Amino acid sequence: MFVHDVLIVGAGLAGMRAAVAVPSHLSVGVLSKVHPVRSHSVAAEGGINAAVDPSDSWESHLYDTVKGSDWLGDQDAIEILCREAPGDIMALERMGALFSRNAEGGIAQRNFGGLGFPRTCFVADRTGHALVHLLYEQLLKRAAQVYEEWYTTALIVDAGVCRGVVALNLLTGEIAAIRAKAVVLATGGLGRVYSVSTNGLINTGDGMALAYRAGVPLQDMEFIQFHPTTLKETGILITEGARGEGGFLFNARGERFMQRYAPKAMELASRDVVSRAAYQEIMEGRGVDGCVMLDIRHLGRAKILERLPQIYELSKIYAGVDPVEAPIPITPGVHYSMGGIATDIHGATSLPGLFAAGECACVSIHGANRLGGNALMETIVYGRRAGSRAAEVAEGIETSTSAAVADEAVARERARIDRWLAPRTGERIGVVREEMGRVMAEHFGILRSGERMTEGERKLSALRARVPETVLQDRGRLFNMELIDALQLESMIDIAGAIAASATARTESRGAHARTDYPTRDDANWLKHTLAFRTDTGVRLSGRPVTITRIPPAERRY
Ligand SMILES: Cc1cc2nc3c(=O)[nH]c(=O)nc-3n(C[C@H](O)[C@H](O)[C@H](O)COP(=O)(O)OP(=O)(O)OC[C@H]3O[C@@H](n4cnc5c(N)ncnc54)[C@H](O)[C@@H]3O)c2cc1C
């Protein structure tokens, strides 16, 4: 029997930071479907934002983030992020983070899109790698119990309170209850709902689906970030740090086309603006083989190898381009989910006992568009806050749930898994998953319209009906990754439905949600969050006001 005071699902930066924040007299468990250092945070490249320079300020960070969010971010949550970020960077440094240095030996900072100050701290272009390994060391020091390669299939809810999870041990096939007084979901993003994405195969929106099925609303799911620079045909991210270090974008005519779209900020406008510009250039025939070009040659070999070593390698290996000698072919691609499990500023969800942090959550820092470098900072600030608050809640509770409730939950999940493993005939899971990815890309992409989205919703409903009829070829119980694919597909089809319904309903263009039939922002009707609830008959939508404390809505220009 597994019992903890606090259980954290997810061992990326948000989950590990949450675990480290739980005081040592409490028992903490951390559960991850992959080894912690393989969590997707390890792929983060360009850096993490904090106003650590004395000539910068948290107020300026706040302003940039609110403007970047197209005024949909909640300003109380953003203020906490910006005020607490410098202290968290110092805490990471004290733990041993080897941030790149400036000429004076201080923490170096680079430009990132939408920032009014070079505010992004970094470890070359491998920031996530450095921080994940750092926090894994802290997790070991904290002596947390790590359930590595365990897949969470459901939350345990006892009398309206979350009291643990049911999880499948991939190695042994065991299905067990892991009981806890408080649970933190830190399960990362959903990029794989789309056919091509910068995200790894593990980013399937599981935590969002777990919460959604337990009645917790998903907030602002229509806001999917398309990153301006992903490597031709692969979806591999080319960090914004490349433009932050001085890289240019140009089209087939050799024009720095950002001049037309964002004459002041140019390549360092916010991501939604640069992505739409690149997309428009390609669509209007000024692309080069379906791409535009990113040029960093003028930075010179030494700087490229010092500041952007990973970009150098990725370009050479995956596009056959040496960026010291030639421009890199890039195209906009799916990258990040601004939306997620709705939480308050302590990471608490509407389900007592359940918290969420990191990319799976929506405390609403990013609103309609995230600024690069703010996601990593969110994992640290809000991971810490969610871990602390979950610990406080756990301290006030005498016992975790009864064994009987846990046993019932395990029996339900065992029946679900047995159904998947039972012999039957039908189509393979991958067929439905690929079709879903294509529908999302074609109907809920960079530019959207009511007609295309309504058609997309119809196609998704048809796909949803096919999911239970799909079959596994591997019926074994040990390390059955096809079974995990099936469970992930169930998560993704739920999440895709929430994205589709939320996007179709929002009849305006704001941040990353750009509609050809409603091309302008409509504050009178849409300065509000979308909340999506799962019901037996489909998605139910409602709204929630945006928290505006300091910066009234204004037109966004770069
Ligand atoms: C290529 C790339 C580069 C990026 N670069 C930057 C950057 O430079 N700066 C920046 O600010 N942002 C960046 N981002 C975004 C940022 O990296 C992510 O938003 C952030 O790292 C997410 O961290 P997380 O802890 O929320 O989730 P993750 O790191 O994705 O961790 C999720 C965890 O949940 C676990 N999990 C998921 N489902 C289950 C389940 N069912 N059962 C058990 N465990 C589960 C996983 O095993 C994993 O441990 C980048 C994103 C990508 C894709």
Atom nearest to 10 CA in ligand 1: 34
Residue 230 beta carbon below 6 angstroms from any ligand 1 atom: no
Residue 327 DSSP symbol: P
Atom nearest to 167 CA in ligand 1: 42
The answer to whether 361 and 343 are in contact (CB under 8 A) is yes
Whose alpha carbon is nearest atom 24 of ligand 1?
A: 188
Query: In sequence order, which residues have a C-beta less than 8 Å from that of residue 536 and are 6 or more positions away?
Result: none
Whose alpha carbon is nearest atom 41 of ligand 1?
A: 152
Q: Which two tokens stand for residue 412?
A: 């339900």
Residue 460's pLDDT is: 98
Task: Give the sheet arrangement for strand 292-295, strand by strand.
Answer: 224-231, 328-337, 292-295, 248-250
Residue 9 beta carbon below 6 angstroms from any ligand 1 atom: yes
Whose alpha carbon is nearest atom 2 of ligand 1?
A: 44
Atom nearest to 357 CA in ligand 1: 26
Question: pTM for the full model?
Answer: 0.98
φ/ψ of residue 78, rounded to 5: -65, -40
Return the H-helix or E-strand segment holding 407.
helix 403-421
Whose alpha carbon is nearest atom 33 of ligand 1?
A: 10
Angle at 112 between CA 79 and CA 247, to 5 degrees: 175
**Ramachandran class of 143: left when φ > 0, alpha when ψ lies in -120 to 50, beta otherwise:** left
* Strand boundaries in 407-468, DSSP class E: 447-448
Residue 380's pLDDT is: 98
Ligand 1 center–CA 12 separation, angstroms: 6
What sign has the CA pseudo-torsion 431, 434, 439, 440? positive
Return the H-helix or E-strand segment holding 503.
helix 481-505
Q: Which two tokens stand for residue 137?
A: 């060391």
SS3 317: helix
Rg (CA), the chain: 22
SS3 336: strand
Residue 46 beta carbon below 6 angstroms from any ligand 1 atom: yes
- Tens of pLDDT along the chain (558 residues)? 799 999 999 999 999 999 999 999 999 999 999 999 999 999 999 999 999 999 999 999 999 999 999 999 999 999 999 999 999 999 999 999 999 999 999 999 999 999 999 999 999 999 999 999 999 999 999 999 999 999 999 999 999 999 999 999 999 999 999 999 999 999 999 999 999 999 999 999 999 999 999 999 999 999 999 999 999 999 999 999 999 999 999 999 999 999 999 999 999 999 999 999 999 999 999 999 999 999 999 999 999 999 999 999 999 999 999 999 999 999 999 999 999 999 999 999 999 999 999 999 999 999 999 999 999 999 999 999 999 999 999 999 887 677 899 999 999 999 999 999 999 999 999 999 999 999 999 999 999 999 999 999 999 999 999 999 999 999 999 999 999 999 999 999 999 999 999 999 999 999 999 999 999 999 999 999 999 999 999 999 999 999 999 999 999 999
Number of H helices, E strands in the chain: 16, 21
Residue 241 beta carbon below 6 angstroms from any ligand 1 atom: no
Q: How far is CA 189 from CA 29, 221, 397, 491, in A?
A: 21, 11, 31, 12
Query: In sequence order, which residues have a C-beta less than 8 Å from that of residue 302 and are 6 or more positions away?
Result: none
Q: Which two tokens stand for residue 34?
A: 């992959």
φ/ψ of residue 346, rounded to 5: -105, 5
The answer to whether 272 and 511 are in contact (CB under 8 A) is yes
Burial 337-358 (b: 16+ CB within 10 A, else e): bbbbbbbbbbbbbbbebbbbbb
Ligand 1 center–CA 70 separation, angstroms: 24
Whose alpha carbon is nearest atom 31 of ligand 1?
A: 12
**Ramachandran class of 179: left when φ > 0, alpha when ψ lies in -120 to 50, beta otherwise:** beta
Ligand 1 center–CA 379 separation, angstroms: 9
Cα 365 to Cα 72: distance, rounded to the nearest angstrom: 9
**Active site amino acids:** 271
Residue 41 beta carbon below 6 angstroms from any ligand 1 atom: yes
* Strands 340-342 and 218-219, bridge-based pairing: antiparallel
Residue 403's pLDDT is: 85
Cα 436 to Cα 454: distance, rounded to the nearest angstrom: 15
Task: Give the sheet arrangement for strand 361-362, strand by strand.
Answer: 361-362, 340-342, 218-219, 528-535, 538-545
Cα 398 to Cα 306: distance, rounded to the nearest angstrom: 53
List, in sequence order, every residue forming a beta bridge with 182; answer none if it has no partner: 6
Residue 10 beta carbon below 6 angstroms from any ligand 1 atom: yes
Cα 490 to Cα 47: distance, rounded to the nearest angstrom: 33
How many Cβ atoms sit within 10 Å of the Cβ of residue 141? 11
Look at the chain and count its residues: 558
Cα 463 to Cα 435: distance, rounded to the nearest angstrom: 8
The answer to whether 65 and 369 are in contact (CB under 8 A) is no
**What is the SS3 assignment for 186-218?**
CCCCCHHHCCCECCCCCCCCHHHHHHHHCCCCE
Percent of the chain as helix, strand, coil, to the nearest 5: 40, 20, 40
